[in-house]
Structure 1
Amino acid sequence: MVSQCTICEKFKRNIQKEPLVQDSNPGYLFQRVAIDLFEMAGHDYISIIDAYSGFIISEKLSRKTSSHIIEVIVRIFDRVGYPSEIRCDNSPFGSVAFEKFANEANILFTFSSPRYPQSNGLAEKGVAITKNLLRRCYEVHETDRFQYRILEYNTTQVATMKLSPAQLFFGRQIKTRLPVASQLLYRSNINEVDIQEKIQKKKEKQKYYYDRTARSLPMLNVGDLVIFKKNGKEWQYGKITDNINDRSYIVLDNFGNYFRRNRRFIAKTKNNEISTSELLFEDHIRNNVNSECNNDKEINIILPNKKNNTDVNISLSKNNDNTIVPPKSNTPNEAERSTEQQSSSVIHNESSHRDSFVPDSGTEVAEMPDKSARPFVTRSGRVSAPPVRYGNFAKKII
């Protein structure tokens, strides 16, 4: 009973997380970078972080348009080189302008699942670091020193790597305003195999602690009736139409809209009554209309009525242009009743006012308007009628 309750499924708790799926280790600098946008104190910024070295680049954006973001990205890549792959969100990097830029620059764009920032954890980590540095600059009113704070971070040694992001990126340490040993400024031969082993060891440690509270979820198939999180915390009903990968699916809601969601935000429903009456409602109509579209007869469609568990017979007809015409209800609704009442009251007042008018002697009466002209309802629902004063207009002869 509880598993088939509509209210219980609507406010269902979140699904337990799945085991961590990690990307392959990058083999060289800028093989894969993560890009994300963020806002701080009313200003927009872009953050770029390299997956191999952890080197961070950030710039302030004057406007948040695709053309300006591409201009800033090109300016950065012209200085440090172009990456092979970019991990980013769908907006605004999924626009046509970015698709054109990707083809011109020979860059592969990989998009994360909507409303699941964990799938692009590298970009979120870069934003968190950049925000922390920028927040300190705003605290001491030194926003003009923001780029220098990023330089200090890039020259700080990472505990697990025993090297700084700048050393991994440039092959040597970068000099800042702080004192630095001269031997660190020389180019050193970094053992790439040792770096790969350290990266792999760090990722294995992350997966070990993450998977302690995770469990695998069964895969979903195309056509499965599910509940998913469309917007916010409530679950809504939908149907699987396609799968991007083992963890990401395309879901169709009962309004005909498609959404991409991670597996953690999708659960298989056990409410068969809801699935047949709501999710398959449009498919039922579409299939019956298409099968009877070539006939000139009326189309009878039987739909379930959820109020009294009976079937409702709906008749659809066709125009000359083969368009389906919905049936007209024989019972007027409240808006039609109020319009008819208002129209009848206006007509009654107009006729009574005309009958009570008696012209004086020596008075020429103007031609009365056509009584057959009745008030009409405009598109906004307002009743329009000829003004009463025109019907009682009289012109006195001097």
Structure 2
Amino acid sequence: MFANKVVIPKSLRKEILETLHETHSGIVRMKNLAREYIYWPGISQEIEALAVNCQACQEAAKMPVKVELSPWPVPSKVWERIHLDFAGPCKDGKTYLILIDAYSKWPEIFGNTTTSAKDALRHLDWTFTRYGFPKTIVSDNGSPFQSYEFKSYCRSKGISQIFSPPYHPQSNGQVERFVDYFKRMMMKNWGKPKWVEEVLFNYRATPHESLMGKSPAEEFLGRKLRTKLALVYPERPNSNDSERERIRSKMKTWFDKHHGARVREFKIGDKVQFANYSKSKNKEWLVGHIVAQNGVVIKIQSERLRAIVTRHINQ
């Protein structure tokens, strides 16, 4: 270990670099991810050389910013303000709906064949079912977001809309930067299976400079994502484990006391009754003999059914 990071031997460094470079996420993001888990002398220089010598990375390199952007105010919490935009049509024939949480930088990506309000709302329904409704949605003045259907949806959920000026996508910079990143990732990863999922996972797991070194997942979910690099990093004991075990034990004691639970012991060959659930959903009790047991799960040989059935001890 070196400064709480795993020191990688020379024999494994090539494989680690390939893992860091899987989605061609760029020099800064590869370094940020590496600093979370691993170290060896000269790792930064090797990451730089890897990206510089990658043809896909060079062809998709970002153009310099031409004007200074006016930043949005930072929200006070996660999922308070989200930014939306469409990217495409792309080379796969799809147009992607991009969503970014302004506080955590957590992204969502949805593939579409159209840019209709109906498609956008279908994906927002999926998202809001999991995370709840934001206070504000920021988008451009595109017809899907200006439609009566979209505006009515937002009003019904208590969501306010803010529109960026026409023909000035930089005003919606939160999502515009990710759209640019997404397009470059498409150029670098085109042809790979499940590249969208891999790009999303990598982005969510990588420390973000605007988040003071935390990843979008840490800010959004309150925890780090378990990545391939985490496999080389020894797990640290959680200080809350003992308290959780105490609560779990207390709950078990309460359940056993109030539900008449007791210890049941069986051995191979014991004759037992077990519940048989027929297609008519009527339960009947049959007799059989135990042929195997694994904890609270037992296997019973039933002469009537001419089969071995698996049951919980309570069944």
TM-score by length of 2: 0.49
Between Structure 1 and Structure 2, whose CA radius of gyration is higher? 1
Q: Which has the higher contact order (CA 8 A, sep 6+)?
A: 2
